[in-house]
Amino acid sequence: MTAPPDDCLARNEWICGAYLSTRRQILLDAVVQHLQLTFLSVLIGLAVALPLAVLARRWGWAAGPVLAVTTVLYTIPSLAMFSLLLPLYGLSATLVVAGLVLYSLTLLVRNILAGLRAVPEETRQAARGLGYGPVRLLLAVELPLALPAAMAGLRIATVSAVSLVTIGAIVGFGGLGNLIYAGMNTYFKAQVLTASVLCVLIAVAADLLLLGAQRLITPWAGAART
Amino acid sequence: MSTLTAAWAWLTDPAHWTGDDGIRDRLLQHLALTVVCLFLSCLIALPVALVLGHLGRGGALAVNISNVGRAVPTFAVLVLLLLTPVGRWGEGPTVVALVLFAVPPLLTNAYVGMREVDRSVVQAARGMGMTGRQTLFQVEVPLALPLILNGVRIAAVQLVATATIAALAGGGGLGRIITAGFNLASTPQVVAGALLVAVFALLVEGVFEAVERLAPAWARGGR
C-alpha cells in the first residue's frame, strides 16, 4: 500500500502540469477528433453553400426562400439541432457533422450571396463588353470580387464550428467537449480548464490561419478590409 | 416516420405537461431565464455601448468582443462556472453564462449603430445648442435604434440557445427534456424536447420580427 501521491491531480487544482503529462494521449485524440469534425463540416458546408449562393444570385426569386430557410436553421439552438437529427443518424459522428454543416451552410450562403451582390453592375457590364460569357464572368470576375466577404463568412463559420463541436459531447462525439463533459461529471477541474483553453486556442489558430490565407489570395483587398 | 409519431404522442400526452419538471414548468423556466437575462444584459451592455458610441472611444473593444464571444464555447463556460463557487447557487452558472453570451451582440450592435449616425446630423444638433446629453438621447439613440434593436434580437435568440445548453450542465429550462431523453435513451422524448426548443426559438425570433414590422418607419431604418 503506497500513500496517495500529493500532487496537483490529487488536490484537484485548476492548472496542473501532471495532468498534461499523464493524459497527453487522451488530449491529443480529443484535439484530433475536434479538428476532424470541424474541418469536415466546414468543408461540406462550403461545398453546398457555394452553388446555393450562385443559384440564389442568378435567379432572384430563389434568394428569398434560401435566406429564409437559412435564418430558420440558424435560429434553432445547437442542442435541439443535434437532437432533431438523432432519428436520422443515431449516436454517431455523422450526426455532429450534419448539424454543424447546417450551421456553416447558413453563415456561408449569407456571406457569399452578400459578396456576389456587392459586385458593381458596371464591373459586370465591363466584363460582358470584353466578351465574357456567363460562366467566365462568374469564375473570373464575380467570385474573385466576392472572395473577401466569402472569407469573412468562412472565418465566422469555422470559429463557430470549433465552439459548437463541444455540444457533440451529448452523443459522445464532441472532441474536447467529451473531456469537458466527463470532467464535469467527476469534478475534474484540470481536465475542464485544459480542454476549454485548447478549444479557444484551436478557434484562434484557425481564425488566424484563414486570415493569412485571405491576405494571400486577395492581395488587392489590402490590410484595412479585414 | 415512426419516431416523429412517437415524439408527437409524447408531446400530446397531458401527463408530460403538468407536474414538477413537466413541459409547462420547463417552458416557464426557459422563458424566465431568457427574459431576466435579456433584461440584465441590456442593463449592463446598452449604457456602456451608448456612452462609448457617443464619445467615439473603445471601438476596437466593442467590435472585437463579438468575435471573442464566438470563439469561446458556451458549454465550456457553463462547466467552468459550475466548478467554481458560483456553481453552488443553483441557477447561478446558467444566469452568469447567459449574460456573458448576450452582452457581446448587444454591445457591438449598439456601438456600431451609434457610430453610424450621420456625423453632420450630430453637428447640426450641436449647432442648435443641444448639450451632449440632449444629442445622445434625442438624436443619436433614436437614429441608432434599428441597430440597437437588431442587437437585442440577436441577443434574445442567443439566450434561448444558451439556456438550452445550460441543461447539459444541470441548469433548468427546456433543454432538460432533451438531456433527460438522452439519459433514458428515449429518442421520442429527445425529439419532442428538441421540437419544443426549436418552436420556442422561432417564436422569439418571430416576436421580434413582428415588433419590427409594427414599429413606426423611423425605428425600422433601412433594414
The chain-wide mean pLDDT, for chain B, equals: 87
The chain-wide mean pLDDT, for chain A, equals: 89
- Chain A residues closer than 8 Å to B157 by CB: 75
Beta-carbon separation of B197 and A195 below 8 A: no
Angle, alpha carbons A174-A179-A184 (nearest 5°):
115
Q: Residue A6 gets which letter from DSSP?
A: -
B73, B160, B181: residue with CB nearest A77? B160
Give the per-residue pLDDT at B223: 43
Please check whether residue A40 is in contact with residue A158, taking contact to mean a CB–CB distance below 8 angstroms: no
Residue/partner pairs of A6-15 with CB below 8 Å, 24 or more apart: A8/A190, A9/A190, A12/A187, A12/A188, A12/A189, A12/A190, A13/A189, A13/A190, A14/A189, A14/A190, A14/A193, A15/A190, A15/A193
Lookup: cell for A57: 444570385
Q: Residue B1 gets which letter from DSSP?
A: -
Measured over the CA atoms of residue B53, residue B56, residue B60 and residue B61, the dihedral's sign is negative
Q: Residue A188 gets which letter from DSSP?
A: -
Q: Which residues make Cβ contacts (< 8 Å) with residue A211, sequence separation at least 6?
A: A155, A226
Helix/strand/coil for A46: helix
Residue B160: which of B113, B112, B101 has the closest Cα?
B101
Q: Is the pLDDT of residue A226 over 50?
A: no
Average pLDDT (A25-49) is 94
Segments in chain B below pLDDT 70: 1, 216-223
- Chain A residues closer than 8 Å to B191 by CB: 83-84, 86-87
Per the structure, the complete domain to which residue B105 belongs is given by 2-220
Residue/partner pairs of B134-138 with CB below 8 Å, 24 or more apart: B135/B54, B136/B50, B136/B54
Beta-carbon separation of B80 and A195 below 8 A: no
Give the per-residue pLDDT at A41: 96
Does ipTM exceed 0.90? no
The secondary element (H helix, E strand) that includes residue B48 is: helix B23-55
Beta-carbon separation of A184 and B83 below 8 A: yes
Q: How confident is the model at residue A186 (pLDDT cuts 50, 70, 90)?
A: confident
Domains of chain A: 17-217 (1.10.3720.10)
Give the per-residue pLDDT at A225: 47
Residue B145: which of B219, B93, B91 has the closest Cα?
B219
Q: Which residues make Cβ contacts (< 8 Å) with residue B121, sequence separation at least 6?
A: B139, B143
Residue A18: which of A194, A160, A197 has the closest Cα?
A194
Q: How confident is the model at residue A48 (pLDDT cuts 50, 70, 90)?
A: very high
User: In angstroms, what separates the C-alpha of B62 from chain A's closest C-alpha?
Assistant: 16
pLDDT digits (tens, 9 = 90+) for B133-189: 899 999 999 999 989 998 999 999 989 988 999 888 888 888 999 998 988 888 889
Please check whether residue B67 is in contact with residue A159, taking contact to mean a CB–CB distance below 8 angstroms: yes
Cα–Cα dist A145/A92, whole Å: 39
Q: Residue A222 gets which letter from DSSP?
A: -
Beta-carbon separation of B193 and A80 below 8 A: yes
Beta-carbon separation of B79 and A184 below 8 A: yes
Beta-carbon separation of B197 and A156 below 8 A: no
Q: The domain that contains B188 carries what CATH number?
A: 1.10.3720.10
Residue whose grid cell is 480542454: A195
Q: Which of residues 140-169 of A touch B (CB under 8 A)?
A: 156, 159-160, 162-164, 166-167, 169
Strand segments, DSSP code E, in A136-193 are: none
Q: Which of residues 125-164 of B touch A (CB under 8 A)?
A: 157, 160-161, 164
Average pLDDT (A138-150) is 92
Residue A42: which of A111, A97, A83 has the closest Cα?
A97
Among the ranges given (A85-89, A160-164, A202-206, B89-93), the one the predictor scored with the smallest mean pLDDT: B89-93
Beta-carbon separation of A83 and B181 below 8 A: yes
Please check whether residue A147 is in contact with residue A115, taking contact to mean a CB–CB distance below 8 angstroms: yes
A77, A83, A162: residue with CB nearest B191? A83
Distances (CA, A) of B64 to A112, B68, B159: 22, 6, 20
Angle, alpha carbons A167-B73-A107 (nearest 5°):
85
Lookup: cell for A112: 457569399
Percent of chain A predicted with pLDDT > 90: 62
Average pLDDT (A52-58) is 91
Helix/strand/coil for B139: helix
The secondary element (H helix, E strand) that includes residue B38 is: helix B23-55
Cα–Cα dist B130/B122, whole Å: 10
Domains contained in chain B, number: 1
Lookup: cell for A39: 474541418
